[in-house]
Every structure is written in C-alpha cells, then in structure tokens.
Amino acid sequence: MKVLVTDPIDDAGLERLREAGHEVETAYDVTGDALLDAVSDANGLVVRSGTQVTDAVFEAAPDLVIVGRAGIGVDNIDIDAATEHGVIVANAPEGNVRAAAEHTVAMAFAAARSIPQAHARLKAGEWAKSDYLGTELNAKTLGIVGLGRVGQEVAKRLDGLGMDLVAYDPYISEDRAERLGAELVEFEACLERADFLTVHTPLTPETKDLISTDELELMGGGYLVNCARGGVVDEAALAVAVENGTLDGAAIDVFAEEPVSEDNPLLDVENVVVTPHLGASTEAAQENVATSIADQIDAAFNGEPVINALNAPSVDQSAFPRIRPYIDLAETAGKIAAQLFDGRISSVEVSYAGDVAEEDVELVTASALKGVFEPLEWQVNAVNAPRIAEERGIEVTESKTRQAEDFQSLVTVAVGDDEESLSVCGTLFAGDDPRIVRIDGFRVDAIPHGQMLVARNYDKPGVIGFIGTVLGENDVNIAGMFNARRSVEGGEAITVYNLDDPVPDAVREKLLADDRITDVKYLTLNGADE
C-alpha cells in the first residue's frame, strides 16, 4: 500500500510504515493541484497541521483508506467529506499529551513569575530585580476548561503543587472529576473562581471565541493560559484585558492564524508570554505521535480497528480479538438479508444475544450495515454506512440480551419496510467458524461463503429432488444443503444450498415454474470468485 506524507514527521514513523511493507512517499509543502496529483494513487495520507485535507483531496484519491493526523487537532481535515468518501480519519491524541501538559505548567509559571521578561532585560544588561514581584501557584485556584486527556494531566501536576482545582467540562462525570481532585462547576463559575485559567478544548464552531471580553471580565484578575487550540480565546479581547489590568497576565502557545502575523495584538503586550506552538515539540512526543499514526494506518490497511478513529467505529485493542469473528459474521448476515428481502429497506435492526452482548459492538453493527447496503450497489464501508443509513432515512436500531437460546452467542440482522421484515441469524462454531442458523424464522445450518441458493417451497415430496436435478442438468454442483420447514407438514419450507457454480437466470426461472416452489434467490457472498 502507498502512504503519502505531506508534512514532516519523525523518522521513526516513516520507518515503522516501511517495515510493515508499505511504500512511503514524502511530498512536503505541496498544495493545490500538486497535492491533488500527489494523492491520486495513495492509500494512506499522513499530515500535521500544514496540509489542508479538503473534499477536493478525497475526490482526487479514490483509493484512499485513511488520513492520519500526527497530533491531536484535526481542524485542517474535512471529516464530513472523509466520511462521505468512506475514508477513516485518525489522530494521535496520546503521543503528545505529556508534552502539552508540561508546557502548560511551564507557561503558567512563566506568566506568574515574568520569566521571559526578566530574562530579556537581563540579557540586555539590566538588573531589574525590583520590577518583578511574582505570584505563587500554591494555594491558588486553577480553573480548567476542558478536562480531557491534556486537561487531566495538567490537573494531576498542579494539584500536586498545592493548587485547588475547579473544572468545566459538560462531557465528564462528577465522579471522574473528583478522582482527579477537581470540583466540577458551570462555565461562569469556573471563570469567576480561577486565579489561573487553562484552556483544553478543541476548536469547533461552538468553542470559537469561547473566551472573549465578557468571559475575561468574569475572571477579574489572574492569569490565562492557552496551549490547546488557537481561536478558542479571542486574541484581541485578551490583549485589551491584559493591557487595561482586567487580567494580570497571559501565556499563549497557539494562535488563530499560524505563523503569527506581525500585527497580532498579543505580541505588543508586556505581560503576555508567547511561544510558537511548542506544546508538542519534544523529541519523545514527536516520535510517539509518528509511530502511533503509523500503527493506525497499518491497522486500517489490515482491516483491524483504528484505535483513534474520529469518524469510524473503533474498539479497544484488547477487546478486538473477541469481536473480530463477529464483524465478518454480521456483514455476511446483512448481505444475505438484503438479497433475500423483496421490499424497499426502510429499517435495519441488529440484535446481539449471549456472550457477544457483553462486548462493545459498535464496529460490528457498522459492519452489518455495510453488508446490508453492499448488495444495493451503494459505495459503502464501515466508515460511511451509518451516514448512508441516516441520509436515506433508514431507521437503525441495536438491541442486546444475555439470553441466547441454544447458542453461546447470536447476531441477528433484520431488514424491513413498513409492512414486513426478514431476519438472518448467525453464530460461531468452535470459536470462529461462522454459521447461519436461522433465516426468516426457519432453523438452518448453512456455511455463509461463496455462492448460495435459497429456495422457498411447500413441504411436499420430490421438491428437493427436483431442485437437485435441475441444478445437476445445468452443471451446478451442490457442495452442501440444509432443509427446514414450519411445524405443520405440507406447509412452508426453506432449503439452503452451498454451490460450487453460479446459477444462471434461466435455471432460476425453470425452478420457479414449478408451482411447489414459491421463491428462489441466488446469493453471492465473500469468496464467490475464489
């Protein structure tokens, strides 16, 4: 597989990809048509913040499987467009967490003790000891806006230095905050109580200029630190707040526009400490994010879970071996259900019973949807299947139960319209041997592979023999079969055939001409061309 790298990353990541057998091409600083040309035959794309990955990039790269961001922020990647094209977007949020947290702590101390200002004046020959009366962090209140990975690491470090912690984060529980030593409060209360405020949120339409003039006035003094994303703090408002004494100072590592223009108002304010986006700039962090994203790209190529996928279902690496066989089983059950159902599909239900119901099955459900949609000739994969369902108005439901009748685990995919539905139920024998054990309520035992024929008929003598004769006369070899009927003799029955050869339409028509046979469906599954 070919991986295009358009922003510099640590050599350890490039080597990791090459060792996995992939072709790696570097093309730094390409933009516009040059970027579109470069990515046209790529299977993977690795970027940092410099490359803008737009809808045009996805249009130009039909074979693209994954875009990996060697870092946390993905502001430069159009995730909606990626999803529409079935491309995974992943980042490396863990690799530079420690580095970002340490830089945040360093910036808080730098602002509180005027370290850069004193350094510059001493270098210029001034002994300005009496001009700088610093602020201790001990016994002060730290306000944390965003208690995610970096925010939690900052909390641990500054809690250990004797600070009282308050935090605002609508997506974290009070119990988790308490375990970190922080009191969870509302946004305004966090600002009002903070002597030092540190920001750790992504940049989204909701968080743009989250902290502006009104919010800074709520702080009523103290210091603001932003080592998260530029644009979350209104830079012009912050400059004014520090200049007029609303705040005592600030420390900023990230900016709305980078590199920073010379007329950025923060550059002219004495009590604002600035650094050029150094939060992740440590040797260890750069190696970590590079190797992390390389591993995720390799996983995507191998059909394994992408741990930090942002637009695709993911699963914990330790749990993946337990659910991996069910991914293929659910996809196959979905394919069978879609090919057997005659109506327009308006609903899909995926049900889990037994041991599998205890697992994280988001990826399994997405694979079931992929199986349902594939026979309808939609361009679909596990990334965009949920989106396709939403766009086409298909209702998707998921259910779980610990009861699984006679099986250790069961996965059922049911498709339907407003009037009727059809279900296909599968399980695993001996741990990883897939079987279809029920079709539309009929108990069967079919191997879901290759070419299959599903015939519905009345339970009368000679029907199975007739079907076998017709198939044999047309050189269609039967590899296996299973017959089931309703409880009433002479009623409805179903027969599932595993075949070595395709079934021409003329053969199906000949079978349907017999009034004992009510329906015949020819299915193609994985391995049909092998």
Please list the active-site residues.
229, 258, 277
**Residues whose CB falls within 8 Å of the CB of residue 99, separated by 6 or more in sequence, listed in order:** 279, 280, 281, 282, 284, 285
Three-state secondary-structure class, residue 496: strand
DSSP-derived letter for residue 211 is B
- Cα dihedral sign, 313-317-319-324: positive
Residue written as tokens 């467009």? 81
DSSP string of 96-150?
Answer: THHHHHHHHHHHHHHHHHTHHHHHHHHHTT---GGG------TTPEEEEE--SHH
Q: Packing angle between helix 149-159 and helix 97-113, nearest 10 degrees?
A: 50
**Residues whose CB falls within 8 Å of the CB of residue 507, separated by 6 or more in sequence, listed in order:** 470, 471, 474, 476
Residue written as tokens 């997405």? 366
Q: What is the distance between the alpha carbons of residues 99 and 21, in angstroms, rounded to a whole number? A: 31
Three-state secondary-structure class, residue 483: strand
In the chain, count H helices and then E strands: 17, 22
**Residues whose CB falls within 8 Å of the CB of residue 109, separated by 6 or more in sequence, listed in order:** 115, 137
Task: Record the tokens describing residue 355, joined without a space.
Answer: 């041991």
Three-state secondary-structure class, residue 299: helix
Q: What is the distance between the alpha carbons of residues 188 and 191, in angstroms, rounded to a whole number? A: 5
Q: What is the distance between the alpha carbons of residues 247 and 242, in angstroms, rounded to a whole number? A: 5
Contact 349, 334 (CB under 8 A): no
Residue written as tokens 């066989």? 325
Task: Record the tokens describing residue 380, joined without a space.
Answer: 């679909």
Task: Record the tokens describing residue 63, joined without a space.
Answer: 């074979």
E-strand ranges in 440-499 read 442-446, 451-458, 478-485, 492-499
- Cα dihedral sign, 259-265-269-272: negative
Q: What is the distance between the alpha carbons of residues 65 and 82, in angstroms, rounded to a whole number? A: 10
Length of the chain: 530
The helix (run of H) or strand (run of E) holding residue 372 is helix 362-373
